[in-house]
């Protein structure tokens, strides 16, 4: 209510005579608001893929964020103030996404917004966040923050992007699996990022992408694409997203049967929220996956890993503690957790008090350079590039052994770094 009134007073020409009386009332109310502001909760808006194509991610993003919020408040909140989060479904749709940014900012009065994963939603919503001058902390993966496509109010401090992920893994794939690669990817932008950056990285390693098989996103069966995989393929690189991923992986298994097959390297996106021990997936035994965060708790896991899993409600296999069939989106959902703790650091560094400090908050994040591993950065240490608004971190390669994903390689942070394409700090707010 206060936000609405403030918006009315500052942004609209007041043509109703009645507003004079309203203004007097507001003057009376103002001291109480200022007084309350110092101890009132900090309100964060979470743009959630609760329905639509991103729903499996959304479900776990909400759980992870709730768990992080509880920990944050147990630790004393931010700047001595409790924190609350307003979740709003964007239907994984860019049009609705922009409306949700609007709703969280101008109606719910949130201090900032975080949370979206899917690239098209981020790109569709970021312009509105820029217009409203509200910090927009995304947990996406496409190469669109660091590419310079967005604006100064959009940051990605919680997860690396596809460009960093694929280019850091290419050397290991070349050295350990083979040099002739066939790529199977969805025929839209996320897949194109994989195609372009992995092909480039493979070439740099002296390998060759011998076939690129793009699959239209409307496809529900993949049998007619699989015979296009050249026989001389040494490594089959696959990445799929959306409801058809399970069909894709099963049909891949049926295609090769028990006969000879190339080495298979996939992005865990193909199997996020899917039980790897599901019937029909036996052929994945011995294949490799990229993971942003290891779904199965590894023997050398740091001590905070158990605390994180318990807080989020995930067992050692990456499934819900209350339902072993409810597999998490473990490789991605840490991004919400870490983003929330970056927000805490940013607000504390900028002395954030109210929405008037939003610009100072963004500048404080831009000034950050590194995050140490620990309970607030559960996936590992990270390097933050304030100019490109993008974080860089380790990537993991796991092998399916005995039906479980076991880590066989961890990249260094530097492996995924690339030259800056933008300097957001040079842009005006």
Cα(218)–Cα(29) distance, rounded to whole angstroms?
Answer: 55
Judged by CB under 8 A, the stretch of 8-16, 161-169, 232-240, 316-324 that binds another protein is 8-16
Task: List the one residue from 44, 61, 78, 89 that touches another protein (CB under 8 A).
Answer: 89
* Shorter beta-carbon distance to another protein: residue 151 or 385: 151
> How many Å apart are CA 333 and CA 311, to the nearest integer?
13
Q: Does 184 bind another protein (CB under 8 A)?
A: no
Q: Which stretch binds another protein (CB under 8 A): 183-191, 261-269, 344-352, 405-413?
A: 183-191
Q: Does 15 bind another protein (CB under 8 A)?
A: yes
Q: Which is nearer to another protein, 5 or 71 (CB)?
A: 5
Choose, by CB under 8 A, the member of 54, 94, 266, 346 that binds another protein: 94
- Mention every residue, 6+ apart, whose C-beta is less than 8 A from residue 389: 145, 146, 150, 152, 154, 155, 156, 157, 365, 366, 424
3-class DSSP state of 314: strand
Least distance to another protein, CB of residue 17, Å: 12
The DSSP secondary-structure symbol of 156 reads: B
Residues 6+ apart with CB under 8 A from 267: 165, 194, 238, 239, 289, 290
Using the structure block, give the residue that is written with the tokens 């902390």: 137
Kind plus residue range of the DSSP H or E element containing 392: strand 390-393
Which one among 54, 61, 67, 93 touches another protein, defined by CB under 8 A?
93
Assess contact for 392 and 370: CB atoms under 8 A: no
| Residue 426 is a binding residue for another protein (CB under 8 A) | no
Task: Using the Cα atoms of residue 410, residue 413, residue 417 and residue 423 in order, give the sign of their dihedral.
Answer: positive
User: Which of 144, 238, 309, 389 touches another protein (CB under 8 A)?
Assistant: 144
CA dist., res. 93 & res. 219, Å (int)? 19
**Residue 322 found at the interface with another protein (CB under 8 A):** no
For another protein, the closer CB: 156 or 317: 156
Q: Does 326 bind another protein (CB under 8 A)?
A: no
Member of 45, 91, 116, 135 binding another protein (CB under 8 A): 91
- Kindly determine how many residues on this chain lie close enough to bind another protein according to the rule CB under 8 A: 47
Please give the residues from 32 up to 51 whose contact with another protein meets the rule CB under 8 A.
50-51
Q: What are phi and psi of 101, to 5 degrees?
A: -60, -45
Among 26, 71, 189, 246, binds another protein (CB under 8 A): 189
Angstrom distances, CA of residue 310 to CA of 4, 297, 315: 39, 12, 7
Min. distance of Cβ 78 from another protein in angstroms? Answer: 25
Helices 189-204 and 162-176: crossing angle in degrees, nearest 10, is: 40
> Taking CB under 8 A as the rule, does residue 107 contact another protein?
yes
Query: Can you tell me which of 57, 88, 136, 137 binds another protein, judged by CB under 8 A?
Result: 88
d(CA 342, CA 137): 10
Site residues, another protein (CB under 8 A): 4-5, 7-8, 11-16, 50-51, 88-89, 91, 93-96, 98-99, 102-103, 106-107, 119-120, 123-128, 131, 142, 144, 149-151, 187-190, 192, 216-218
């Amino acid at each position: 209510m206060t936000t609405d009134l403030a918006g009315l007073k500052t942004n609209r020409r007041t043509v109703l005579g009645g507003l004079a009386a309203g203004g007097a009332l507001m003057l009376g109310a103002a001291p109480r608001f200022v007084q309350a502001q110092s101890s009132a909760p900090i309100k964060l808006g979470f743009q959630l893929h609760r329905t639509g194509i991103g729903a499996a991610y959304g479900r776990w993003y909400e759980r992870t964020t709730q768990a992080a919020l509880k920990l944050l408040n147990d630790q004393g909140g931010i700047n001595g103030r409790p924190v609350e989060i307003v979740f709003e479904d964007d239907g994984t749709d860019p049009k609705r996404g922009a409306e949700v940014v609007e709703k969280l900012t101008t109606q719910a009065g949130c201090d900032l917004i975080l949370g979206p994963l899917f690239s098209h939603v981020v790109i569709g919503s970021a312009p509105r966040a820029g217009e409203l001058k509200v910090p927009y902390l995304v947990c996406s993966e496409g190469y669109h923050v660091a590419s310079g496509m967005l604006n100064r109010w959009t940051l990605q401090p919680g997860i690396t992007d596809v460009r960093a992920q694929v280019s850091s893994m290419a050397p290991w794939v070349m050295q350990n699996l083979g040099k002739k690669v066939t790529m199977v990817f969805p025929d839209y932008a996320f897949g194109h990022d994989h195609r372009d950056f992995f092909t480039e990285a493979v070439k740099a390693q002296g390998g060759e992408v011998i076939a690129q098989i793009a699959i239209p996103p409307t496809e529900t069966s993949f049998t007619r694409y699989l015979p296009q995989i050249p026989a001389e393929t040494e490594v089959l690189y696959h990445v799929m997203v959306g409801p058809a991923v399970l069909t894709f992986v099963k049909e891949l298994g049926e295609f090769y049967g028990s006969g000879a097959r190339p080495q298979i390297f996939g992005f865990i996106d193909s199997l996020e929220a899917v039980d790897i021990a599901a019937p029909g997936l036996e052929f994945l035994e011995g294949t490799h996956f990229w993971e942003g965060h290891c779904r199965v708790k590894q023997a050398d896991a740091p001590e905070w890993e158990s605390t994180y899993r318990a807080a989020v409600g995930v067992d050692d296999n990456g499934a819900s503690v209350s339902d072993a069939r409810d597999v998490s989106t473990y490789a991605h959902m840490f991004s919400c957790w870490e983003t929330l703790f970056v927000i805490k650091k940013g607000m504390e560094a900028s002395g954030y008090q109210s929405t008037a400090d939003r610009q100072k908050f963004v500048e404080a994040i831009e000034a950050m350079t590194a995050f140490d591993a620990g309970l607030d950065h559960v996936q590992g240490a990270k390097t933050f590039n304030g100019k490109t608004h993008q974080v860089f971190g380790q990537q993991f390669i796991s092998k399916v052994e005995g039906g479980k994903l076991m880590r066989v390689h961890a990249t260094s942070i530097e492996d995924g770094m690339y030259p800056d394409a933008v300097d957001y700090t040079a842009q005006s707010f």
